[in-house]
Structure 1
């Protein structure tokens, strides 16, 4: 089975902006800055220690630079955006999109870091950190609304429990924030 053609399905029309507002992860820029800052700090420390020890060479400098670049790649957050009926995750050179109004499954992958995997009726999939949805109520609202639409249409076969857990987590953290701000903690 070959990859689908976007024009054939007209999944992400050029006039997506007209369909409704596009929401972004508002913490992405700060997270990107932190990943740059951490990798630069590591590179600086490695250079200073190696230079102080008198063992800094071109080969070692290249090794330290490679190590800092690898740290940046590990920490670099994907940019998550959503609009009416779609969600996109862009990481450095690749963008993955999924039709949230045609979701087939939503799974939660456990491990070192929790990941939410959304798969649509066309076989496309996007992996995102659930914390992105927790931190961005606009993104969560967009995904939740479209997932409800997919469930009503009968395309969302599995994932209602996962979405309910994410909703409960968002409600719990929102309530905690309200209590902290109001001094009722």
Structure 2
């Protein structure tokens, strides 16, 4: 019995882009957060063992502190699909429709954040660096923003996105010059 041919992503007529685009740096950031949490736990246990203060109730306390540190250091996982941007944090999942954006804000501070809000009240807060280092995510956000501007729904934030686009273009050009030896 022969099996029917499976359609692959390279088959004509089938979309060649992945269905979901995700932050490629997230796994490394999550591993770093886990390493920091494990290091803290190990150091606290070792310190207690050396000083003779390790008791059965202190070990779970140190483990809890390690878990809290992991939760605090792990960044939200950002994924996107055509018109939807999703940010999955340790507690909640937030999403925004990119083709119905009404506002984009940049909040500067210790850690700069980009706040995207859509017409239905959805809001995603993310680090702009996620878009800088992930061109596929940036392309989806930029396309959605262009659609929102064309529809007239994006009332404020076009300047923020244009500055981010300039930065991404500049970083891309610098990367190309470095790779070709023209720096």
- In which range does the TM-score fall when normalised by the shorter chain? 0.7 to 0.9
Pairing 1:46–2:14 present: no
Secondary structure (helix, strand or coil) at the match of 2:57 reads helix
Choose between structure 1 and 2: higher helix proportion.
Answer: 1
Secondary structure (helix, strand or coil) at the match of 1:58 reads coil
Count of paired positions: 168
Q: Provide the residue aligned with 2:58 in structure 1.
A: 60
1:33: Cα distance to partner?
A: 1.3
Per the normalisation by structure 2, the TM-score is 0.85
1:105: Cα distance to partner?
A: 0.2
Select which of 111, 125, 128 maps to 2:126.
128
Distance in 1 separating the partners of 2:164 and 2:157: 11
What's the RMSD between the two structures over aligned residues? 1.8
Per the normalisation by structure 1, the TM-score is 0.84
Deviations 1:45-90 (A, max 9, x none): 1111221121112333233222211211111111111111111111
Q: Provide the residue aligned with 2:93 in structure 1.
A: 95
1:175: Cα distance to partner?
A: 2.1
Q: Provide the residue aligned with 2:112 in structure 1.
A: 114
Moved over 3 A (4+): none
Distance in 2 separating the partners of 1:115 and 1:50: 39
Higher alpha-carbon Rg? 2
Secondary structure (helix, strand or coil) at the match of 2:75 reads coil
Q: Which runs of 5+ in 1 are unaligned?
A: 1-16
1:181: Cα distance to partner?
A: 2.1
Q: Provide the residue aligned with 2:182 in structure 1.
A: 184
Distance in 2 separating the partners of 1:169 and 1:91: 26
Distance in 2 separating the partners of 1:110 and 1:56: 43
Distance in 2 separating the partners of 1:27 and 1:93: 20
